Amino acid sequence: MIDVIIDIILLAFLAITAVAIVRMTNLFAIIMLFGIFSFLSAVMFIVMDAVDVAFTEAAVGAGISTVLMLATIALTKDHNEKQPVSHRPWLPLAVVITTGAALVYGTLDIPPFGDPGAPSQIHVAPYYIERSVPETGMPNIVTAVLASYRGFDTLGEVVVIFTAGIAVLLLLGGRRRKPTAGRDEGEGNDT
Amino acid sequence: MDFIISHYNYWIAIFLMMVGFYTVISRGNLVKKIIGLNIFQVSVFLLYISIGVVVGGAAPIITEGVELYSNPLPHVLILTAIVVGVATTALGLALVVRIKEAYGTIEEDEIHEQDHSL
Amino acid sequence: MTHNLVLRVVSKSLIPLIIVFALYVQFHGDFGPGGGFQAGVILSTAIILYALVFGLDAAEQVIPSAVLRILAGLGVLIYAGVGVVTLFSGGNYLNYSVLAGNQIAGQHLGILLVELGVGMTVFSVMLIIFFAFAGRGRP
């Protein structure tokens, strides 16, 4: 019973923070609220027994992402969002409600939350849980699967991170040219 | 009533997804669009991890005396997805900085006006 | 200067602890939560905290940008290199069992090297991105 109450309180806080992010216009406050959102989702992951994921989400979401967004609004000197003047304000809301209704209709067939007899728990997961320690000798099943059983995916992920680093170096690594108010002439960095 | 208690996790994750989606398609400020995209990503992770939860289970680290473990496979997938998400966000923010230097603004409709007024 | 004083003193005592914690998470990823990604991000957070409090120039003296670029490539090279070594030792690509005598020792060695490569790449790329953003604002 106490688990259900903790779940409901955390999810309610997440929903309130998300709605506040949409409604506010001060970018600095929005970024701070995003840090809070990321941290609350890390706590939610811990409640759902996903400790590795909570670790990564707290470090990456509430740490690196927030710092980079603050650096962006410091560089662009843009602290307030302009109020949108859209011709059809009901169109995004209609699209969102339709998509949400379709997704909720899709979740009506999902097995109940936490069911040990659900199809996702009885086919592939017992294989890894039983054979992780005899075959690799590591108690942490997530690290064993990540580094040994599914090592190719982790190789691809490391290459993706490396590519993102190279791309940011190409975009922002050179000397800054004088900011112009109109259209920029030419391209490329003066390195 | 049982049905609502066993499914409300998924519905709130879908509500958060839709809030993030609405932020991306209806707001013109580029930084706010990126924040909406991140909200969408985090709520997708919540949906995936809640599929792998086992009631009464422990974290998937083999310890003495524990019988029931949570499903470790969604954890692996979401770990990769989180790190790829931060790479995408960093690249998007670098593009926003360059757009500001080129156009002088990061509001989407002003950028469209400058593009179309050539 | 006075309003920076608390930040400087506190961060001087916290940054070594953060670095030690990052190394703990890196090498105990087998037995508890953790691994290469979390350790790389936490280690880069320590240097980012140093850069925020003491200035970007001081942080670039701690770790020059050239070293960061070499480290990033070296991490990917270590990961792919482990696969090539196993390929030449008789097994499939990234089959760690052929790295040592028995299967368990080989898996341990392979996973240790692979997580080291991942940690190095994540640490250096996060710092490259932060230095790129912070260095853009200087004239």
Q: What is the pLDDT of residue B40?
A: 95
C64 contacts chain A (CB < 8 A): no
d(CA C125, CA B87): 9
For B33-66, how does the pLDDT look when each residue is reduced to its tens digit (9 = 90+)?
Answer: 999 999 999 999 999 998 888 888 888 888 888 8
Mean pLDDT lowest for which of B74-83, B102-111, C18-27?
A: B102-111
d(CA B22, CA B14): 12
Distance from CA of B78 to the nearest CA of C (A): 13
Amino acid at residue number B19? V
Q: What is the pLDDT of residue A132?
A: 85
Contact call for residues B101 and A184 (beta carbons, < 8 A):
yes
Q: What are phi and psi for residue C109, nearest 5 degrees?
A: -65, -45
Q: What is the pLDDT of residue A133?
A: 85
Is the pLDDT score of C89 beyond 70? yes
Residue of B nearest to C29 (CA): B61
Q: Which residues of B touch C33 (CB under 8 A)?
A: 59, 61
* Residue bearing the bigger pLDDT, A112 or A187: A112
Distance from CA of B2 to the nearest CA of A (A): 9
Residue A185 has a pLDDT of 42
With an 8 Å Cβ cutoff, are C122 and B90 in contact? no
Contact A11 B29 (CB under 8 A): no
Query: Does the beta-carbon distance from B23 to A116 stay under 8 Å?
Result: no
pLDDT in tens, A27-78: 999 999 999 999 999 999 999 889 999 999 999 998 899 999 999 998 888 7
Closest residue to B54, CB basis, from A64, A121, A171: A121
ipTM (interface predicted TM): 0.92
pLDDT tens-digit map of A143-153: 999 988 999 99
Are C129 and C68 in contact, with CB atoms under 8 Å apart? no
Give the per-residue pLDDT at B118: 65
The span from the CA of C62 to the CA of C60, in Å, is 5
Least confident of A22-26, A111-115, C15-19: A111-115
Identity of the amino acid at A46 = I
Cβ(B49)–Cβ(B78) below 8 Å? yes
Which chain A residue has the Cα nearest residue B26? Answer: A92
Poorest-pLDDT segment among A11-15, A95-99, B43-47, B99-103: B99-103
Contact B49, B72 (CB under 8 A): no
Q: Is the pLDDT of residue B2 over 90?
A: no
Contact call for residues C103 and A135 (beta carbons, < 8 A): yes
pLDDT in tens, A15-30: 999 999 999 889 999 9
For residue A179, is pLDDT > 70? no
CB spacing of C37 vs B83 below 8 angstroms:
yes
Question: Tokens 């740490």 appear where?
Answer: A63
CA C63 to chain centre: 13
CB B27 within 8 A of CB B36: yes
Cβ of A139 under 8 Å from any chain C Cβ? yes
Interchain proximity A140–C33, CB inside 8 Å: yes
HEC sequence for B58-93: ECCECCCCCCCECCHHHHHHHHHHHHHHHHHHHHHH
Average pLDDT over residues B89-95: 94
Residue A145 CB: number of other CB atoms within 10 A? 24
Upper half-sphere CA count for residue A69 (Cβ side, 13 Å): 28
CA distances from B108 to A78, A96, A110, B101 (A): 13, 20, 39, 14
Would you place residue A186 in the very low, low, confident or very high pLDDT band (cuts 50, 70, 90)? very low
* The predicted structure's pLDDT at residue C22: 94
The pLDDT of C19-30, averaged and rounded, is 92
Confidence at residue A187, expressed as pLDDT on a 0 to 100 scale: 41
Helix axes B30-51, A66-76, angle to 10 degrees: 170
Name which of A18, A139, A167 is nearest B39 (Cβ-Cβ): A18
Is A135–C103 a contact, with Cβ atoms under 8 angstroms apart?
yes
